[in-house]
Structure 1
Amino acid sequence: MAPPDRIEFRTDERGGVTVLRDGHPQSYVDPDDPGLLAFEYVQHFALVLDALPVGPLAITHIGGAGLTLPRYIQHTRPGSPQIVLEPDAALTEAVRREAPLPRGHRIRVRATDGWSGLQQLAADSADAIVIDAFDDGRVPGDLVTTGAMARCTEVLKPHGVLLFNIADRPDRVFLRRVLASATTAFDELLLITTTEVLKKKRFGNYVLVASAAPLDVTDLRRAIARADFPTSLVGPAETAAWARAAKPVLDPSEDPAPPAQTEGTLRFR
């Protein structure tokens, strides 16, 4: 059965596949090389996850698309139990057919939205929560509220981390509001982004890293310095200052995310 019209797969000369939903690029997947991460912000996710203690990690992903990051974790940390909350069952079915998952994986996809799926997760069950969710190209409003942040802290283990892909315009109005929400639940926050996005040269992606425990910024700075393209870290003090300049999101119906634009830029490493 062919995938629905709104789901598209584009194969390039490398053999990799870009997954599009409603015309928006969602993922880049190379089933033969799961270590290849093409979107900048996915590489930023990996920088943080690679810095966590060695061995399998229990990770919950909110947003699945091509399952790029779960494949990467299975590749770098075999045996990691992973839960993926992806409401679009047709998309997941098409991805499994067009870009099959590796044998022996422990990736479990649940056909539910992020907010509903969060309520079903056990407390202290995740080493990391990765939010990379878009609805018609916009971050869902119910994932940026103070209630969503509080629930993430309940699901995370004491030293667990939240990674959140936040796409915003150069004015950073939406980003600051998400940061304000996050500060109501997490003690320490920082941001990773490309240098050109940090300099407000274009709409782009910021990866929020949040934890109830202190974050090892020194090791992360070293990893960022080794990145193949200019990448910057906004430390806890500056991130906290940005958060203080905005009001947290209390009502999910407010949905303050900016209009959809292309999420992420492909830069092969």
Structure 2
Amino acid sequence: MSARERDREAAGAERFALVADDRGGVTVMLDGSPQSHVQHDDPQLLAFEYVQHFAHVIDILPAGLLAVTHVGGAGLTLARYVNHVRPGSPQIVLEPDAALTELVRRELPLPRRHRIRVRPIDGLAGVGQLADRSADVVVIDAYAGGRVPAELTTTAYLTDVARVLRPDGVVLLNLSDEPGLRYVARVLASLVQTTRFRDTALVATHEVLKGKRFGNAVLVAGRGGLDVEALRREVTRSAFPTGVQSGATLNRMAAGARPFADDGASSPEPPRLRSWRRT
């Protein structure tokens, strides 16, 4: 190993941590923040609520293989899930942190015969290199310093995401926000402004939807439509009390918000853990 490689590995060791739990799972930590939870022997055990919400959307899509592009990789939790429930599905993961990917693949190896390809590139440039109509699903789950990067929620970027999706494709965005969901509303308005998506839905725990705490919400948009009623039925299986908003509720939310044009903004800074809930 060269001196440069040793220095890079030492720097990575300071930023990354894999924390095991008593159930055999591992949480991938980056700069002190949890990024992913991987249950290596059971890819269907999803500890983070928003990852369960992603899985609910995946599960209502038509049967068969899915071409999935993931913007953000970390522990590759959702890619492992898709590989397990729809084996043989071709997946691309855009993860710029090559050192993190190397650690995860070494310590939490992917299953045999997977079709998951990890590209060391950021979500903005990576999506720009993808072919038109090459994905059934695009999942945007990228964070830097605990916040969604501003460039991943602009109207221009979401228009490019729509270009990559097939006519019946779906985009899923993991967004963190404060009570009131004003940031989520602006991302929704950006999606609507692209005019490329027919239906939208918002999936989150009841506490987040009711404004009781800071938390994650999954925004879903379908190019050719979205079976919202099937999604409502599916989320009843969630381990967390979860709701789905759609239709007139989201129309009002988008109408009262300003889209992110070229002046995108990162998601709100997460508060200290003890102050996440509003009493």
Aligned ranges 1:53-202 → 2 under 5 Å? 53-185=62-194, 186-202=197-213
Residue number in structure 2 paired with 1:266 = none
Comparing 165-174 with 228-237, which one deviates more in the overlay? 228-237
Residue number in structure 1 paired with 2:58 = 49
For the Cα contact (< 8 Å) 2:147–2:266, is it kept in 1? no
Residue number in structure 2 paired with 1:237 = 248
Runs of 4+ in 1 over 4 A off after TM superposition: none
Gaps of 5+ in 2: 1-8, 274-279
TM-score (norm 1): 0.94
For the Cα contact (< 8 Å) 1:84–1:109, is it kept in 2? yes
2:270 to 256, 260, 264: 260
Shift of 1:150: 0.3
1:9 to 18, 37, 43: 18
For the Cα contact (< 8 Å) 1:197–1:205, is it kept in 2? yes
One-letter amino acid matched to 2:133: D
One-letter amino acid matched to 1:210: A
Closer/same/farther in 2, CA of residues 262 and 236 from structure 1, 3 Å limit:
farther
One-letter amino acid matched to 1:101: L
Closer/same/farther in 2, CA of residues 64 and 262 from structure 1, 3 Å limit:
farther
Residue number in structure 2 paired with 1:246 = 257
One-letter amino acid matched to 1:205: N
1:209 aligned onto 2:220: yes
Q: Which has the higher contact order (CA 8 A, sep 6+)?
A: 1
For the Cα contact (< 8 Å) 1:4–1:90, is it kept in 2? no
Gaps of 5+ in 1: 264-269
For the Cα contact (< 8 Å) 2:17–2:29, is it kept in 1? yes
SS of the equivalent of 1:192 reads: strand
Cα-Cα RMSD: 1.4
Shift of 1:239: 1.1
One-letter amino acid matched to 2:229: T
Closer/same/farther in 2, CA of residues 34 and 205 from structure 1, 3 Å limit:
same
Equivalent pairs, count: 262
TM-score (norm 2): 0.91
Structure showing the higher helix proportion among its residues:
2
Larger radius of gyration: 2
